[in-house]
Amino acid sequence: MNENPDKSLTILAFFAHPDDETMFLGGTFAFLADRGAKVHFICATRGEGGERGDSPICARDELGLVRDQELVCAVTALGGASLQFSGYLDPEVGPDGELYPFTDNLEKIASELQEQINRLNPQVIITHGPGGEYGHPAHIQAHQAMMLALDTLDSFRPAVYAPSWLSRETGVFTPTPAFLVDITPWKEQKTKAVLCHKSQHGLFLRHGAARAGRPVTVPEIVRCQEALCQIHPAEGNNQQDHFEELLADILSPDS
């Protein structure tokens, strides 16, 4: 592995809800922070519309504050350099599990993201993919907002990556990953971050039990493989190569 990390690599991670950062790529973020990268997290919402646990750990009107603090805990566990919330309200899940986007003003959040890009000057951005991983409208909207923000940049454009989603039905990562990584040495950090998201444990355990065909614990649902696909190559900076060299240190044998 790289014993002389380059401290200059700056990464902006933008996701729609608390827990997206951890469940998709928590081990990768912990690895990157361990290698000297500064990972700055921005979350579009506080997840006010999500689940509250089995049984509920708080009242509905308290969930935003609870999930705010859960994300603070998770980002700390993953070694994040900073965390900001964009302040958009997460709509409550509708009848039959219907999901919704979080804003009707894409240009506004794109402008806010552009301000953060100009402030942080990241060489790499990690955000949701165009399909929202499993089709979540808020994930799709987060992707669209980020791409709109990047469209207005001139000579410099960060490399953009997104998580590949492991389908529960097929057991295959989609889209096809550019990097399938083994985060085993950072599984403990990822598990600590997952444990931070207590309000979502009921959801995690139901999905985990459905996959396993039996009851599971929270640590059991933490996978040692994560995957990234490339959305757009870098323009005007050479740090994409360094980012990919870092990931090459933890490529899964299945790659």
Domain contains 253 = no
Query: Is 19 among the domain residues?
Result: yes
Asked whether residue 58 is domain-assigned, the answer is yes
The predicted pLDDT at position 62 comes to: 98
Residue 114, in any domain of the structure? yes
| d(C-alpha 80, C-alpha 74), whole Å | 9
- What residues are paired with 15 via a beta bridge? 43
Q: Which stretches of the chain drop beneath a pLDDT of 70?
A: 1-7, 237-238
Look at residues 84, 100, 180, 187 and name the one whose alpha carbon lies nearest to residue 140.
100
Q: How far is CA 36 from CA 5, 29, 115, 117, 245, in A?
A: 6, 11, 24, 20, 13
Give φ, ψ of 183 to 5 degrees.
Answer: -105, 25
In the chain, where does DSSP find H-type helix? 20-34, 63-77, 106-120, 132-135, 137-151, 187-196, 201-212, 239-248
One-letter amino acid at 217 equals T
Q: Report the CATH number that the domain containing residue 47 is assigned in CATH.
A: 3.40.50.10320
**Residue 31: inside a domain:** yes
Give how far Cα 40 sits from Cα of 83, 122, 127, 172, Å.
Answer: 6, 9, 12, 29
Residue 4 inside a domain? The answer is no
What is the reported pLDDT for 3?
41
CA distance 28 to 11: 12
Q: How far apart are CA 233 and CA 226, in angstroms?
A: 20
The greatest distance separating any two alpha carbons of the chain, rounded to the nearest whole angstrom, comes to 53
> Kindly report the CA angle at 192 between 248 and 246, in degrees rounded to 5?
10
Query: Which residue, among 15, 5, 13, 23, has the nearest Cα to 201 in the 3D structure?
Result: 23
Confidence (pLDDT) at 86? 98
Please identify which residue in the block is written with the tokens 């207590």: 198
Burial class of residue 218, CB neighbours in 10 A (0-12, 13-18, 19+) = middle
Query: DSSP string spanning 171-218?
Result: --EESPPSEEEE-GGGHHHHHHHHHH-GGGHHHHHHHHHHHHTS---T
5 in a structural domain? no
Tokens of 91: 């709509």
**Residue 64 within any structural domain of the chain:** yes
Domain that holds residue 129: 10-248
Distance of CA 37 to the CA centre of its chain: 16
Q: List, for residues 70-116, the tens digit of each pLDDT value.
A: 999 999 999 999 999 999 999 999 888 899 999 999 999 999 999 99
Length of the chain: 255
The answer to whether 109 and 44 are in contact (CB under 8 A) is yes
If one counts the domains in the chain, the total is 1
Q: Would you state the pLDDT for residue 8?
A: 76
The answer, yes or no, to whether the previous bond of 199 is cis (omega within 30 of 0) is: no
